[in-house]
Amino acid sequence: MSKRIGLMGCGQVAVYGHIPAIQETPDLQLFAIFEPDPDRAREIQQRFGVPHAFSRTEDFFASGIEAVTITSPAPCHRENVLDCARHRLPALCEKPLAINKSEGDEMVAAMRSAGQPFHSGFCYRFSPVALKIRELVREGAIGRVRSLRLIYNWHLHGKYEISHDGSQILQRRREARMEEGGPMVDCGTHQIDLAHFWLGSPVTRFTAHGAWIDDYLAPDHMWLHLDHENGAHTVVEISYAYTHTAQNRRSEFIYELIGTGGIIRYDRDLESFFMENASGRHDFPCSPEKDFIGLYREWAAALHSGKSDLLATAEEGVHVADLARRATDEVMAGRVQPLS
Ligand SMILES: NC(=O)c1ccc[n+]([C@@H]2O[C@H](COP(=O)([O-])OP(=O)(O)OC[C@H]3O[C@@H](n4cnc5c(N)ncnc54)[C@H](O)[C@@H]3O)[C@@H](O)[C@H]2O)c1
C-alpha cells in the first residue's frame, strides 16, 4: 500500500528535487502540499497534479496524510516538526535540521514522545558516487582512510537577480541563506554528514576559518577541519561567493579520500570518479552529487519496515547542524578587523 505523503514548503528544492522524486517512488503518493503563499500553493498543485493543496496547517494535517516531508526554510523546521509530532506523523526534514542544538533537541524529543520516526533528509548520501565511496572504504580498497578533502565552491546562483520591474536587485534566495548562517550552515552540512557516513567515526574536535568576500555577518567562504575518533582528518572548504559576480559562473565540487593504500577522487564538474591503489587506476561511473529518488526509495522502505541503515537519523542531523553552526559562530566571533 502506498503511503499518503504531505509536503511542507513549495520552494525551489521542492520543485526540482522532492516533488518529482516522491512522484517517481512507487510506494509513495504525494497527497497534499502545504505552502503559506496561496497563489504558489495553487500553482504547484496544478503543475504537479497534487490532489490537495493548503495554506493553513490545520487543513493540511486534517487531510489524511500518513507522513510528512519538510522542505521549508531552516527557521521554519522547528514549527513544522512540532506540528508533525502533535499529529503523530513520521517526518523527514531538509537540512539544516535545526538552527541550533536546543531547537534540534526539542524537535527530537517531541518526535520521540509522539513515538514517530524522524529522519534528516541528506540526499547526497544516496548519490551512487557516495554509496560507492562508502562501499570502497568499508572493503578497505584504499587501506585505512586518513584524510578527506571535501570541496564545494560555488556562487549560489549569483549575487543579483532581475526583479519584476526589470531592475537588478540582490538575489533573495542567496540573501536568505547568508542570513541563516552562510555556506557551512547550509550546504556544508552535506559534506560534514558524508565524512561521518563514510568513516563511521565521530568528530572529536574541530577548528574553522573564514573569509568575507561580501560583507555579510557570516563568512561566505569557509574552511572546517574535523578530527575523527579513529585518527582521520577531514577538511571541508565551501563558498557561496565563488564567481558570484562574474559573467561566467564556475563551481568546484570535489571529494578526495586519502588512505594508507591509495586515493579515491570524484570531481563532479570534470565528470571524473576514480581510485588509485596497488592494483592501478579504477574508473567508476559518474553521477550527480544529489539523489532525491534514492532518498525517497529508502524513506518509503523505512516507513514500511520501521528501519534504515542508510537514512540519517534526526540526532545525526542535529549534530551536523550544531557543528556547522558552532564553527560559523566561532569564525564570526574571531573575525580579524583589517588594520586601517
Ligand atoms: N538538499 C539539497 O540539496 C537542498 C538544496 C536547496 C535547499 N535545500 C534546503 O531546503 C530548504 C528549502 O530551501 P529552498 O531553496 O527550496 O527555499 P525557498 O525559499 O525556495 O522555498 C521555501 C518555501 O517554503 C515556504 N515557507 C515559508 N514559511 C513556511 C512555513 N512556515 N512552513 C512551510 N513552508 C514555508 C516558502 O513560502 C517557500 O515557498 C532549506 O532548508 C534549504 O537549506 C536543500
Can you give the CATH number for the domain in which 284 is found?
Answer: 3.30.360.10
Strand order in the sheet with 52-54: 52-54, 28-34, 3-8, 67-70, 91-93, 118-120, 312-313
The answer to whether residues 184 and 327 touch, using CB atoms and an 8 Å cutoff, is yes
Which pLDDT value is given to residue 336? 73
Kindly report the pTM of this predicted structure: 0.95
Please give the distance, rounded to the nearest whole angstrom, from the Cα atom of residue 80 to the centre of ligand 1. Answer: 12
pLDDT one-digit tens code per residue, 130-149: 999 999 999 999 999 999 99
* Cα Rg of the chain, angstroms: 20
Look at residue 246 and tell me if it is in a domain: yes
Looking at the structure, do residues 74 and 217 belong to the same domain, yes or no?
no
Q: Locate cell 596497488: which residue?
A: 278
Residue type, 78: R
Looking at the structure, do residues 187 and 234 belong to the same domain, yes or no?
yes
Cβ of 40 less than 6 Å from ligand 1: yes
With a cut of 90, say whether residue 38 has pLDDT above it: yes
Which among 16, 59, 72, 179 is the best mutation to test ligand 1's pocket, defined by most ligand atoms within 8 Å of the CB?
72
pLDDT one-digit tens code per residue, 280-321: 999 999 999 999 999 999 999 999 998 999 999 999 999 999
Looking at the structure, do residues 87 and 184 belong to the same domain, yes or no?
no
The answer to whether residues 184 and 224 touch, using CB atoms and an 8 Å cutoff, is yes
Residues of the domain holding 74: 3-123+294-312
With a cut of 70, say whether residue 339 has pLDDT above it: no
Look at residue 213 and tell me if it is in a domain: yes
How many Cβ atoms sit within 10 Å of the Cβ of residue 271? Answer: 11
List the residue whose alpha carbon is closest to atom 18 of ligand 1.
Answer: 11
Mark 102-136 as b/e (b = at least 16 C-beta within 10 Å): ebbebbbebbeebebbbbbbbbbbbbebbbbbbeb
Look at residue 340 and tell me if it is in a domain: no
pLDDT one-digit tens code per residue, 211-241: 999 989 999 999 999 999 999 999 999 999 9
Cβ of 73 less than 6 Å from ligand 1: yes
Dist. CA 293–CA 123, nearest whole Å:
9
pLDDT one-digit tens code per residue, 76-101: 999 999 999 999 999 999 999 999 99
With a cut of 80, say whether residue 14 has pLDDT above it: yes
Cβ of 195 less than 6 Å from ligand 1: no
Dist. CA 159–CA 155, nearest whole Å:
7
How many whole angstroms from its chain centre is CA 60?
A: 25
Look at residue 338 and tell me if it is in a domain: no
Average pLDDT, the chain: 96
- With pLDDT > 70 as the criterion, what percentage of the chain qualifies? 99
